[in-house]
């Protein structure tokens, strides 16, 4: 107790404890966030590099806490993964996507596929595939409309256990995308083993596209390889017209990034991008 009076000790103590307490706070608050309706989903359009038409969108979670304010998924998803709350969050996200899809379809909007992020940790649940199946079944949602995004690192982690789950998801009708491609692993062997439909080039490549020849060469090689394997390619993090032009020249199929639009609320996405099926 006496030491806490000491200025130096207290300073040291406070700087450690502020990060520590913030994390503890988030950990605790995360447990109630679903019940308290603090999450929303935003949707980022993915457009054809040729026509600019929307071909898909990615659902991205947003957490607005009454006193902490908005907390970015980059900060809270790793904590949710550590503590296990990601299991419930993951189910909430998928269910919300299914419900949104239903709302749009019943209002006669033409809706392209919606991508949902799956965390590596979710693959550790033995009932992952069946819980995903339950959600689409209960909401009467067509899995053809849904793309499951998995990261290279989560899928490479334990190929033997992930592969059957991916095949099961494919057999339900889901599409599979590899997220953040090029960021972590250099081994390519899994690409031919996995039942993948879409490959997403990590934004670190895109950001160096027009300044670094090697990034450009690699990006072109990734696109050509993907097409050779019948995969569609999405470039992430496209922020400038130069990057877009470059990717278009390289025949990249789809573009996602701030240059097109950031993640939008469902209402914004609807007004800006969706059209009704008039027949
Ligand atoms: P991610 O899956 O790679 O998602 C793309 C991130 O890049 C999003 O950040 C998006 O807003 C951001 N982004 C989009 N365009 C640009 C651009 O032009 N430039 C830059 N610099 N960034 C761009 P966000 O929404 O903050 O999400 C961060 C990460 O959190 C996601 O990365 C994903 O790993 C995770 N995440 C988000 N929502 C979910 C979710 O529902 N479930 C899970 N498991 N993870 C999620
Ligand atoms: Ca993603
Ligand atoms: Ca990504
Ligand atoms: Ca409209």
The per-residue pLDDT for range 88-98, each reduced to its tens digit, is 999 999 999 99
Best probe residue, ligand 1, of 39, 60, 208, 209 (max atoms within 8 Å of C-beta): 60
pLDDT for 1: 42
Calculate the CA 122 to chain-centre distance.
14
**Alpha-carbon distances of 114 from 81, 129, 160, 174, 260, rounded to whole Å:** 23, 18, 27, 10, 17
Ligand showing the shortest atom-to-Cα distance for residue 107:
4
Please determine, for residue 141, whether its predicted confidence score (pLDDT) is greater than 50.
yes
> Would you place residue 35 in the very low, low, confident or very high pLDDT band (cuts 50, 70, 90)?
very high
Which mutation among 77, 239, 265 tests ligand 1's pocket best, with the greatest number of atoms within 8 A of CB? 77
Q: How confident is the model at residue 64 (pLDDT cuts 50, 70, 90)?
A: very high
187 has a pLDDT exceeding 80? no
The conformation of residue 137, written as its DSSP 8-state character, comes to H
Closest CA to ligand 1's atom 19: 237
* Cα atoms in the 13 Å half-sphere on the side-chain side of 125: 19
Average pLDDT over residues 222-248: 97
Atom number in ligand 1 closest to CA 81: 44
Indicate which atom in ligand 1 lies nearest the CA of residue 41: 41
Does 148 have pLDDT greater than 60?
yes
User: Is the four-CA dihedral 262, 268, 270, 273 of positive or negative sign?
Assistant: negative
Please tell me the distance between residue 55's alpha carbon and the centre of ligand 4 in angstroms.
15
**Contact by Cβ (8 Å): 46, 55:** yes
What's the mean pLDDT in 73-84? 96
- Looking at per-residue pLDDT, the higher value among 155 and 33 belongs to 33
Tracing tokens 């993915």 back to the chain, one arrives at 46
Please choose from 61, 70, 73 the residue to mutate so as to test ligand 1's pocket, defined by most ligand atoms within 8 A of CB.
73
Query: Does ipTM come in above 0.95?
Result: yes
pLDDT, tens digit, 9 for 90 and up, residues 129-138? 999 999 999 9
Give the C-alpha separation, 90 to 79, whole Å: 13
Please, are residues 209 and 221 in contact by the beta-carbon 8 Å criterion?
no
What distance in Å separates the CA atoms of residue 207 and residue 195, rounded to the nearest whole number?
28
pTM to 2 decimal places: 0.94
Average pLDDT (52-70) is 97
The dihedral built from the CA positions of residue 72, 62, 142 and 45, taken in this order, carries a sign that is negative
Residue partners of 89: CB distance under 8 A and separation at least 6: 30, 33, 34, 39, 61, 80
The Cα–Cα gap between 177 and 161 comes to 18
Report, as an integer, the average pLDDT of 226-242: 97
């Amino acid at each position: 107790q006496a030491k806490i009076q000491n200025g130096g000790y207290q300073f040291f103590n406070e700087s450690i404890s502020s990060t520590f307490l913030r994390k503890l706070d988030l950990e605790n608050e995360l447990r109630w966030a679903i019940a308290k309706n603090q999450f929303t989903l935003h949707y980022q359009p993915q457009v054809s590099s040729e026509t600019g038409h929307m071909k898909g969108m990615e659902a991205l979670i947003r957490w607005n806490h009454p006193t902490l304010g908005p907390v970015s998924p980059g900060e809270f998803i790793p904590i949710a993964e550590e503590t296990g709350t990601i299991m419930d969050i993951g189910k909430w996200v998928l269910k919300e996507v299914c419900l949104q899809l239903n709302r749009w379809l019943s209002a006669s909007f033409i809706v392209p596929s919606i991508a949902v992020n799956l965390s590596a940790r979710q693959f550790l649940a033995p009932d992952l595939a069946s819980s995903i199946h339950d959600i689409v079944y209960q909401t009467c949602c067509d899995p053809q409309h849904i793309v499951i995004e998995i990261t290279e690192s989560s899928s490479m982690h334990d190929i033997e256990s992930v592969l059957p789950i991916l095949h099961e998801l494919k057999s339900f009708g889901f599409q599979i995308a590899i997220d953040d491609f090029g960021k972590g692993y250099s081994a390519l062997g899994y690409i031919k083993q996995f039942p993948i439909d879409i490959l997403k080039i990590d934004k670190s490549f895109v950001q160096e596209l027009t300044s670094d020849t090697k990034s450009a060469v690699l990006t072109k090689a990734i696109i050509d390889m993907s097409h050779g394997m019948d995969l569609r390619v999405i470039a992430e993090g496209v922020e400038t017209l130069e990057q877009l032009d470059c990717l278009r020249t390289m025949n990249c199929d789809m573009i996602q990034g701030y240059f097109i639009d950031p993640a939008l609320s469902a209402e914004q996405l609807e007004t800006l991008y969706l059209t009704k099926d008039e027949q």
